[in-house]
Amino acid sequence: MSSKFVITWRGQTSLFVTEGIRSFAMGYFAIIFVVLAQTRGLNALGLGTVTGISVAIGIIITHYLTLAGSRYGARAAFVIAGGLMAATGLLMLLARSVTFLYIGALLGFLPPNGGMFIGALAEGVLAQTHPDQRTKVFVKSGLTVTVMGALGALFASFPASIGLTEPDGLRLLTWVFVALGIAISVVGLTVIDSGPITGSTKSSSEVEDSIDLESSGKAAGSHPDWEVRSTRAINRLALLFVLDSAGSGVVASTLMIYWLRYRFHFSVVSLSLLFFGMEILSAISFPLAERISRRIGLLNTAVFTHIPSSLFLVAVPFAPAAPVASLLLLLRSALVEMDVPTRKSYIASIVRPEERREAAARTSMGRQAGRAIGPAIGGFVLSNVSATAPFLIAGVLKVFYDLLLWRSFRKVRSIEESV
């Protein structure tokens, strides 16, 4: 029997910092990458394709970094991730043609989801938090990521505010991206390794450390879903997340930015301010999600805040003017991220403690798989069908996901909700 690792405040802080740095960088890089890609002659289909390739490579990197984290500790994995980010920035500085963009995609760090393996690594460690604090910790993590993403989006307007031309501004921001990648590697050295988690021991709460699914099922009303192995639940969730993320990928932020520039001629500064507002509203929603989940449960919160956000998304292409489209996107942002901390906490609470790192990695890979499929579909539809179709496809897929998730897991309560 081995002792169970419980992450400390210092460990949480290191993880929050690494996630925050990445989110800040991607907050502005998503905007400038689209502008850079357009100057290199990349159309919507090409943009969707290069985004999909980057995400697909990210899936592979997530797998191997998770293995490296289990074998050598989380520090090594974070250092490698930071190096990949810095290398991506250097490639963008060298980019003189579309070829460089595709080469950059092979490092898995292009927006909108570049470097998601950093989030997967952090989630696997944060899942070891005591159950009484787990949802709050995921709220803090999500809040950190979202606020830093908002500041990053706002930072995209910084070069213009000091009078730099657009090309000079893009170059400056890309150099900052390189520096932030190096910073992730440095901060990654301070991450406290948990090592592989094996076995389980009784903790003071005893609620989840003795997480026999059959006995938990009796506490939850003897629902047969509790009698199956938790790995089946992980696999089912991972497949569902492919569907949800495919919907998100169809209107990935890179394609959304492309559409806004095409439809309403948004400038970099306008995009910066809009995405800053969207991220701030998402940040405000995180603590609200934790409070709501106490009243109606983790799964209910995840599902019933997500569906309205998808309906706002469907309405965006029908907006007659830029202010209306912006308002719909802001309303969506106030709801769309409320499922993130509740979903992560729910996953951690329905699997055995020793499986949480695997659960976090596998479900994250499921989401990345969907993100790899979606952008190519969205880019193709945007280029060859209509500017409205991607939003409709995304909305339908995401609502369908919510309904399937609810139907599959509505009677499978988390351990904390079952006792």
pLDDT in tens, 214-245: 333 443 434 444 434 477 888 888 899 999 99
**45 close to 380: Cβ distance less than 8 angstroms:** yes
**73 close to 386: Cβ distance less than 8 angstroms:** no
Give the max Cα distance, the chain: 66
Question: Number of C-alpha atoms within 13 angstroms, CB side, residue 92?
Answer: 30
Alpha helices in 6-115 (DSSP H): 9-39, 44-72, 74-94, 98-105
Give the mean pLDDT per block of 10 residues along the chain (419 residues): 53 83 93 90 91 87 77 80 94 86 90 79 72 76 86 95 92 97 90 48 35 38 46 85 92 94 92 94 88 89 94 96 97 92 84 76 80 91 92 96 92 64
pLDDT in tens, 295-332: 998 889 999 999 999 999 999 999 999 999 999 999 99
The secondary structure of 232-266 as a DSSP string is HHHHHHHHHHHHHHHHHHHT-HHHHHHHHHHHH--
Nearest partner of 3 among 230, 198, 286, judged by Cα:
198
pLDDT in tens, 60-105: 887 788 777 677 777 888 888 899 999 999 999 987 888 888 998 9
How far apart CA 351 and CA 355 sit, in angstroms, is 6
**Phi then psi dihedrals of residue 122, to 5 deg:** -65, -40
**Tokens representing residue 107 in the block:** 């490092």
DSSP one-letter code for 67: H
**24 close to 158: Cβ distance less than 8 angstroms:** no
DSSP one-letter code for 196: -
**Could you tell me how many residues make up the chain?**
419
The secondary structure of 326-367 as a DSSP string is HHHHHHHHHHHTTHHHHHHHHHHHSS-GGGHHHHHHHHHHHH
pLDDT at 41: 86
pLDDT at 234: 84
- CATH level 3 topology of 9-194+211-418: Growth Hormone; Chain: A; (1.20.1250)
Domain residue limits, the chain = 9-194+211-418
pLDDT at 418: 56
